[in-house]
Structure 1
């Protein structure tokens, strides 16, 4: 245990040193420290006509049959983000035998709610239709997201109209994982988010907590107790309680060491000492029964 902690500290020190030396962003550093011999990546696959409607597929390097599949959505307050910044997420999942799909989606001000969710639904539908060619099993399909991407995953799993427009239902999703997601945030306090949801006339149906129904896919909700951007008690705790009341299988897990940002960063190899988020995600995927 002490040896692994020293290794983590050494990697973190190296990342900080490189940051100061080269002026790189922390995300670029995490990706620079991410190995590339655990996966093969197919980049820039179009799932729609817009330049933002593209995705990357990370396939485990070792041979597999009918691997589980995770479609991952990044955060960024629905006004920023790029799938390439999250290569460390694709590697983390692929190294554990999971096919990972990282999807871009249109952002504000190009679109507002619910159009970016429609993009997510199209990306999921593309995955279900084509992932078998990448050794993934479309019957073992999971959604996952961090921050506003966690919101996207939640809405796709809970609001049946979104996947319904693509010929799917939430029953086609084996389960979903939310990392520090906002699931109950009206009235909106963040000024950058307000126009995305037509503030002050934000529709109540835009909230995942108002979309819960019996029969929704099982959920794993992970949050940081020190999150000062998305209140973990109201959002993760509140949604977990609502799901349990509806009889939906849910696990909610809280970690004290990460914050809002480093919760997803703990999926990367240099920062896994912060919290066993990857182990939780993989365990959930491995042990979620078929519906």
Structure 2
């Protein structure tokens, strides 16, 4: 009996240490993104901030315009992570700069956060943004016919759910050329999850929420990035989604990024550090692959 109690205490201690490390990782990322943005070049692109796509204060986006846009005028919509609990578009200036200099216009959005707003509120925000971009393309001087949805972590879940959740009928899927998911959680049980349980209705089974269960045939191309050292989101999420996408006749491509973890995979997209890692070059390859197809 004492042996079992001791074993339980050891397991509990290990679990608490893991949670503490995950919390530190998120706080470290907050500091890291602040430092990245402070060092991000301010030249080579134009940016408009705090543009509205809805009436609520969190329904805002920043638009980074390339000064040398590609001929087909692709538009990347980036959705941040943060376990649906925190994060802000202002932390991702480095994303806008990094891809605007490559010829892409970039939208970086805010959305409603948990626990005040739970699923599917933040998916509805993305639908609202996409409809706004498509309806206001001329006014915004953008091309919304060649959209790429790119999300990190919770943001990757959001972009995949925007396309495949049953409530996604309100958007024009034909204009979404590709989805790029960075370390996304697409197929997991959030029941009593110590990090993100507050982002979901605990009375609703995950099988009624996860995009894995709603995949259908689509012309959109899918590029699923896995960080080799990710200790927060299990690799099985991307492997499971890749399998079901292909079973439904979709394009899907798994891309493994060595050396990086759950947080650093997005930080490595910064033009300050992208030459040291494979992430940005692989994202650019995925973008080129999507538009040549």
What TM-score bracket applies, with the shorter chain setting the length?
0.7 to 0.9
Q: Does 1:242 align with 2:244?
A: yes
Q: TM-score, normalised by structure 2?
A: 0.84
CA distance in 2, matches of 1:188, 1:276: 34
CA distance in 2, matches of 1:286, 1:170: 20
CA deviations on 1:201-230 (whole Å, 9 max, x unpaired) are 334231011111112521011111210000
Equivalent position of 1:146 in the other structure: 152
SS of aligned partner of 2:186? coil
Structure 1 residues 67, 213: closer, same or farther in 2, change over 3 A? Answer: same
Which of these residues, 194, 214, 217, is aligned with residue 214 of structure 1? 217
Which of these residues, 199, 203, 216, is aligned with residue 202 of structure 2? 199
Q: Does 1:178 align with 2:181?
A: yes
Contact 1:212 1:242 in 2 (8 A): yes
Which of these residues, 78, 89, 107, is aligned with residue 83 of structure 1? 89
Equivalent position of 1:128 in the other structure: 134
Q: TM-score, normalised by structure 1?
A: 0.85
CA distance in 2, matches of 1:87, 1:160: 32
Return 5+ residue gaps in structure 2 as ranges: 1-29
Which of these residues, 111, 114, 119, is aligned with residue 117 of structure 2? 111
SS of aligned partner of 1:138? coil
Contact 2:147 2:176 in 1 (8 A): yes
Equivalent position of 1:13 in the other structure: none
Equivalent position of 2:286 in the other structure: 284
CA distance in 2, matches of 1:187, 1:28: 29
CA distance in 2, matches of 1:284, 1:100: 16
Q: Aligned pair count?
A: 264
SS of aligned partner of 1:127? helix
When Rg is computed on C-alpha atoms for both structures, the one with the higher figure is 2
Return 5+ residue gaps in structure 1 as ranges: 1-23
Shift of residue 76 of structure 1?
0.6
CA distance in 1, matches of 2:147, 2:42: 24
Equivalent position of 1:230 in the other structure: 233
Contact 1:46 1:54 in 2 (8 A): yes
Which of these residues, 55, 63, 73, is aligned with residue 49 of structure 1? 55
The residue correspondences of 1:12-91 to structure 2 (distance < 5 A) are 25-62=31-68, 65-91=71-97
Contact 2:242 2:252 in 1 (8 A): yes
Which of these residues, 250, 253, 277, is aligned with residue 251 of structure 1? 253
SS of aligned partner of 1:280? helix
SS of aligned partner of 1:239? helix
